[in-house]
């Protein structure tokens, strides 16, 4: 049977996971009467909740005499490490572009990776069923992007497929209607080159991902580069050009639809899972024992943002989490970097603190959310950008930012991005009274801006960004405008006390919530911090007052998500993360300690 290996790449929300759904359905992966949920490839609970792809996943579909191996990749730039390592397994890419939006920041990022690896793309203009679709203009924008990224003549000669992933059809010509995805299947087979491999040479494979099976242990995912491998064969693990370990192949699995099927052997060009070694790392090479293979390392971009992960030492520590010690935290973080290749973990001078670096706030936020769901309790500091150099040669990471807003909000957005050192590159009118703004902005300038942006645009604006590169340090950027309302007592919040506190700002808590001294319970209406008592109860006496029957009316609090709490943090604050709660607190809990530190 012939094979084709492709990756589907796109900006977030341009429909690549939905397109994979329809390819699987029309490739008869599911039974006729089988109930299939939407976005079946987004199997992770966080992916389903957020509607984004976080981890790259493998599947396959049969079309005629061909087996098409498909890798569904994340569209968000924070998970670009997933894209970079999976590109080594494929021979071509489907570039999915929204027929209305055209190329977006993360389209540029993932396409640049594919072109630099010499992969030939097939452009799929998706969502042509939208009434406001503009496929001709979108295609022109795609062509301009190819030119800008320095595509070769062969890469520029890309085929174009017009599709509606939601309705499950594709066509090569907008004037020719279609009822299925057969034109897309045919294009993949005709334009994606077969794996250029040596079937008869000695076995060679690079580990691009790791999975764990409770029966057979760790499994290595990758494409067989050369030769073949069979069950029960002894192979070598190669690091730095030397075989450091020998292992017997316990199991070989291939992808058939959404299932993993055990196979007796695999040959060059196949994407497989191999169980042979208990302790592998991404980038390791599996090789024949007689001929030690060499492959270039998987190139992964450097992290741009770091946070401190600390053991929880708040007054409420250890009450809600299952894993609370520094050993638990250390083991979990170092386990994560074995599969999360874009992450870095460093030990610090303190045994209770670890420096964790990643591609962005969302990248680290997903790790925090995953750990708290597993039962971990810990604290994290405010995100910081990673600088290069010192003094006059100091450089910082810059982001390419694209904002789509209604015309009435353009002035507000530009006014807010000015102090954040945003430099406008382009401003173009869009349909429906919208404007697209393009900026180059230091990564520091985006920290804490998303929630402010959503408030300014009444939730109607779209904001996307991707890493652009390092540039000159832009100087100081102002932080949070509002101070914090800080509890001065330990106890439970009381409605009677919170009525008075809410006049000073916006509350983050409901009545009946445990608080402690130094815990942030709201945002002050002024730039300064204010200590308040949310636990004060009404003293009972035998005198009936004129307002005794008045009902207490509280304004609904601002209940913040993990991303919003991370954006709210200031330098002197940390976030307490437990499976049940997110609590913002001051590093110094005592008000006297904070005043003393402020005088220094």
Tell me, yes or no, whether 265 and 313 share the same domain. no
pLDDT tens profile 86-102: 777 888 888 888 888 88
**Final residue in a domain of this structure, among 364, 385, 406:** 385
Does residue 479 belong to any structural domain of this protein? no
User: Among the residues of 6-134, which ranges form H helices?
Assistant: 16-26, 45-50, 80-86, 105-116
For residues 183 and 228, state if they share a domain. Answer: no
Region 246-272: what's the mean pLDDT?
86
Residues 177 and 101 in one domain: yes
Residue 517's pLDDT band, with cuts at 50, 70 and 90, is very high
List of long-range contacts for 385-390, beta carbons under 8 Å, 24+ apart? 385/304, 385/305, 385/306, 385/442, 385/443, 385/444, 385/447, 386/302, 386/303, 386/304, 386/305, 386/306, 386/357, 387/473, 388/470
List the domain range (segments joined by +) for residue 518: 484-599
18 annotated as ligand-binding: yes
Which residues are bridge partners to 379 per DSSP?
A: 310, 576
Q: Which of 521, 512, 585 is nearest to 557 (CA)?
A: 521
Residue 126's nearest CA partner among 4, 258, 200, 18 is 18
Highest mean pLDDT range out of 191-205, 497-511, 544-558?
497-511
Asked whether residue 144 is domain-assigned, the answer is yes
Confirm whether residue 15 is marked as ligand binding. yes
Residue 204, token pair as written in the block: 């060679």
Q: Which two tokens stand for residue 514?
A: 């445990």
The token pair at 422 is: 């945003």
* 532-571 pLDDT per residue, tens: 999 888 776 666 555 554 567 788 888 888 888 988 888 8
42 and 95, same domain (yes or no): yes
Tokens representing 248 are 């017997």
Q: Which among 195, 262, 277 is positioned nearest to 230, based on CA atoms?
A: 262
Q: Is residue 292 part of a domain?
A: no
Distance between CA atoms of 69 and 523, rounded to whole angstroms? 51
Residues 187 and 108 grouped into a single domain = yes
Check the annotation: does 441 bind a ligand.
no
Domain endpoint, select from 415, 446, 472: 472
In this structure, the strands spanning 66-72 and 2-10 are parallel
pLDDT over threshold 90, residue 327: yes
Q: What pTM value is reported for the model?
A: 0.78
- Do 395 and 379 fall into the same domain? no
Q: Residues with Cβ < 8 Å from 254, sequence gap 6 or more?
A: 60, 260, 261, 263, 266, 270, 271, 272, 273
User: Is residue 198 situated within a structural domain?
Assistant: no
Q: Indicate the average pLDDT of the chain.
A: 83
17 is in an annotated binding site: yes
Same domain, yes or no: 63 and 163: yes
30: pLDDT strictly greater than 50: no
Residue 39: the pLDDT is: 45
In a domain, residue 373? The reply is: yes
Same domain, 433 and 490: no
22 and 171 in a single domain? The answer is yes
Residue 139 belongs to a domain: yes
Closest CA to 339 of 233, 470, 246, 208: 208
Mean pLDDT across 297-306: 78
- 263: domain CATH number is 2.40.30.10
CA–CA separation, 463 and 442 (whole Å):
15
Tell whether 25 and 167 lie within a shared domain.
yes
Q: Are strands 217-226 and 491-492 parallel, antiparallel or unpaired?
A: unpaired
**pLDDT tens string 570-588:** 888 999 999 999 999 999 9
Of 191, 225, 242, the position where a domain reaches its end is 191
The residues, ordered by sequence, that sit 6+ positions from 457 with a Cβ below 8 Å of its Cβ are 405, 406, 409, 412, 413
Lowest mean pLDDT segment, chosen from 28-42, 67-81, 234-248, 415-429: 28-42
Rounded (10°) angle between helices 16-26 and 182-191: 100
* Residue 395 and residue 378 share a domain: no
Query: Do 368 and 426 have their domain in common?
Result: no
DSSP 143: H
Tell me the pLDDT band of 31, cut-offs 50, 70 and 90: very low
According to the annotation, is 51 in a ligand binding site?
A: no
Residue 197, in any domain of the structure: no
Query: What DSSP character marks residue 205?
Result: E
The number of domains in the chain is 5
pLDDT tens string 115-151: 888 888 999 998 888 888 888 888 998 898 888 888 8
Question: The domain spanning residue 113 has which CATH number?
Answer: 3.40.50.300
Query: Is residue 329 scored above 90 in pLDDT?
Result: yes
Is residue 62 a part of any domain in this protein?
A: yes
Q: Which two tokens stand for residue 203?
A: 């076995």
């Amino acid at each position: 049977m012939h094979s084709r290996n492709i990756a589907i790449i796109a900006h977030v929300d341009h429909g690549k996971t939905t397109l994979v759904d329809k390819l699987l359905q029309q490739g008869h992966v599911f039974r006729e009467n089988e109930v299939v949920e939407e976005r079946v490839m987004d199997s992770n609970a966080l992916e389903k909740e957020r509607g984004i792809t976080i981890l790259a996943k493998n599947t396959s579909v049969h079309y005629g005499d061909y087996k098409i191996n498909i890798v569904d990749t994340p569209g968000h730039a924070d998970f670009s490490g997933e894209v970079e390592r999976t590109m080594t397994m494929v021979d071509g890419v489907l570039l999915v572009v929204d027929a209305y939006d055209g190329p977006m920041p993360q389209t540029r990022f993932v396409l640049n990776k594919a072109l630099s690896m010499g992969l030939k793309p097939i452009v799929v203009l998706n969502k042509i069923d939208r009434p406001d679709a503009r496929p001709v203009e979108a295609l022109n924008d795609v062509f301009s992007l190819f030119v800008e990224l320095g595509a070769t003549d062969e890469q520029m000669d890309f085929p174009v497929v017009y599709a509606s992933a939601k309705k499950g059809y594709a066509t090569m010509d907008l004037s020719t209607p279609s009822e299925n995805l057969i034109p897309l299947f045919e294009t993949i087979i005709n334009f994606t080159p077969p794996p250029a491999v040596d079937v008869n040479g000695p076995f060679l494979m690079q580990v691009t991902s790791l999975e764990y099976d409770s029966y057979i242990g760790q499994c290595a995912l990758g494409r067989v580069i050369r030769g073949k491998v069979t069950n029960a064969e002894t192979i070598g693990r190669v690091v730095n050009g030397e075989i450091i370990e020998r292992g017997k192949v316990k199991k070989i699995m291939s992808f058939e639809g959404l299932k993993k099927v055990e196979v007796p052997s695999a040959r060059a060009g196949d994407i497989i899972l191999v169980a042979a070694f208990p302790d592998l790392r991404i980038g390791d090479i599996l090789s024949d024992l007689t001929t030690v293979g060499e492959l270039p390392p998987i190139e992964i971009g450097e992290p741009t943002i770091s946070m401190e992960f600390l053991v929880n030492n708040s007054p409420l520590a250890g009450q809600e989490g299952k894993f609370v010690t520094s050993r638990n935290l250390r083991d979990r973080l170092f386990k994560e970097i074995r599969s999360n290749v874009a992450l870095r973990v460093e030990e610090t001078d303190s045994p209770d603190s670890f420096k964790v670096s990643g591609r962005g706030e969302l990248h680290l936020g997903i790790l925090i959310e995953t750990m708290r769901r597993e039962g971990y309790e810990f604290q994290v500091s405010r995100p910081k950008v990673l600088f290069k150099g010192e003094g006059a040669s100091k450089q910082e990471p810059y982001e390419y930012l694209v904002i789509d807003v209604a015309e009435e909000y353009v002035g507000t957005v530009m006014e807010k991005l000015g102090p954040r050192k945003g430099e406008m590159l382009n401003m173009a009118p869009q349909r429906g009274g919208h404007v697209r703004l393009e900026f180059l902005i230091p990564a520091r300038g985006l920290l804490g801006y998303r929630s402010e942006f959503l408030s300014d645009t009444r939730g109607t604006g779209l904001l996307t960004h991707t890493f652009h590169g390092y540039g000159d340090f832009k100087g100081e950027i102002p932080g949070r405008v509002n101070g914090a309302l800080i509890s001065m007592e330990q106890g439970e919040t009381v409605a009677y006390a919170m009525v008075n506190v809410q006049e000073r700002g916006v509350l983050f808590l409901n009545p009946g919530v445990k608080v402690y001294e130094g815990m942030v319970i709201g945002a002050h209406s002024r730039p300064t911090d204010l200590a308040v008592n949310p636990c004060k109860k009404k003293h009972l006496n035998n005198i009936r007052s004129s307002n005794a029957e008045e009902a207490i009316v509280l304004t609904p609090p601002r209940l913040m998500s993990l991303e919003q709490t991370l954006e709210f943090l200031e330098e002197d604050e940390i976030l307490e993360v437990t499976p049940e709660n997110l609590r913002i607190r001051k590093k110094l809990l005592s008000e006297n300690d904070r005043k003393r530190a402020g005088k220094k």
